[in-house]
Amino acid sequence: MPTFCRHNRFLERCPICSKALPGNASGARPPGGARRRPGSSSAAAGSGARRSPRGERVSIRRQERAADDGYLSELLPGVHASVDAGRLAEEIAFSAGRLLALGMQPPGLYSEVRSLAAADLEQATWASFLIAYLCPLEGPEPFAGIRLALRTERGALENLADVALGPRSSHDPARGADTLNAYRHWVAQATSQQLAFSGDPSWTPQRRFERLFERLALPGFIRAARYELLVLLGGLGLYDLRAGSLCFAGARAAASDDPATLAAKRVFAIGDALLLERRAAALAEAISVPVAALELALANWGTGRRATLGFPPESTDHDVLQRGRGALGL
């Protein structure tokens, strides 16, 4: 009788579970864990450019992966290299440490925003929006561009040509001020930022996070920036917000180019948004971190570059790193 695996496929045909069958061990693969077709060359694995059917040059970018060394974990069904698993554990530890610092001793402009909230919640909310929208820079002055934007009155901020943008910025110069105007219009409908982000008083912090994430689907306001804004507003104590998921189901339109979504599909070996959420929740529970810690961690893991978002490198939570490595069998 045919045997089905947990992915509802014939066991011997499943690209994940078939590796555990006798004779299919990773060691039987060529070096690097990749099977090559006859006549293929190593140059095919790199980046390059091809011609589209209309003759246009199309850039092709492939993400580098560590060699398959037989690593297996139920928490990371799409990861087959211990190096990749270890790197994800490090990114989760940094992201979790960042969330902890955000609520206790936030650095730089984050600290100023939290102090400002008691006297001027509207301006503190606006500053949080600009942090998420423009994104802090990497380097010694991460908030330089955001501070420049803050020196302009809210209603007069239109030209961002002189503002330096961070690695996870949502601003697209081609759109000009479209996203800023859309945000102002959204706020005007609620009469104030405070009322817009407070929402229904009966909502739980998790429900408020999800509903606002849906409502903030403004033109040019990408998924990463929306999520980051709500994490900041909740972490700094401006509003009662807490992420209960990674909000993949509410951002399907942006899934094709969102780093965290793409990385999650690789890590969890599934494309369905609801299953991605379940596997992400299981990973967060196994390491005992807030699920929000996975958002930045997955994005950084997928791009191969750590966006620190204005936090020092020592923000890494070493207890989380130890728990992560243990949960992932490293």
Please check whether residue 219 lies inside any domain of the structure.
yes
Phi and psi angles of residue 287, each rounded to the nearest 5 degrees, phi first: -95, -10
Please check whether residue 40 lies inside any domain of the structure.
no
- In angstroms, the Cα distances linking 37 to 40, 41, 47, 237 are 6, 9, 18, 55
The domain total for the chain is 1
Query: Which residues of the chain fall below pLDDT 70?
Result: 1-13, 15-65, 155-156, 250-256
Which pLDDT score, from 0 to 100, does residue 70 have?
87
Please check whether residue 72 lies inside any domain of the structure.
no
CB 135 within 8 A of CB 225: yes
pLDDT tens for residues 155-181?
667 778 788 899 999 999 888 889 999
CB 212 within 8 A of CB 244: no
Please check whether residue 89 lies inside any domain of the structure.
yes
Which pLDDT score, from 0 to 100, does residue 36 have?
36
Which pLDDT score, from 0 to 100, does residue 224 have?
94
Which pLDDT score, from 0 to 100, does residue 34 have?
38
Please check whether residue 107 lies inside any domain of the structure.
yes
Which pLDDT score, from 0 to 100, does residue 328 have?
96
Please check whether residue 299 lies inside any domain of the structure.
yes
Give the separation between CA 10 and CA 169, rounded to whole angstroms.
Answer: 43
The domain of 142 spans: 82-327
Please check whether residue 214 lies inside any domain of the structure.
yes
Give the separation between CA 88 and CA 106, rounded to whole angstroms.
Answer: 24
CB 230 within 8 A of CB 213: yes
Phi and psi angles of residue 49, each rounded to the nearest 5 degrees, phi first: -135, 140
Core vs surface per residue 130-161: b (16+ CB within 10 A) or e: bbbbbbbbeeeebbebbeebbeeebeebeebe
Please check whether residue 260 lies inside any domain of the structure.
yes
pLDDT tens for residues 178-194?
999 999 999 999 999 99
Which pLDDT score, from 0 to 100, does residue 152 have?
81
Beta-bridged to residue 48, according to DSSP, are 60
* Reduced 3-state DSSP string for 244-274: CCCCCHHHHHHCCCCHHHHHHHHHHCCCCHH
Q: What dihedral do alpha carbons 216, 220, 224, 225 form, nearest 10°?
A: -70
First to last CA, the chain: 36
Which pLDDT score, from 0 to 100, does residue 63 have?
54
**Which stretches of 20-172 are DSSP H helices?**
82-104, 108-117, 121-134, 144-150
CB 31 within 8 A of CB 23: no
Exposed, middle or buried by CB within 10 Å (0-12, 13-18, 19+), for 83?
middle
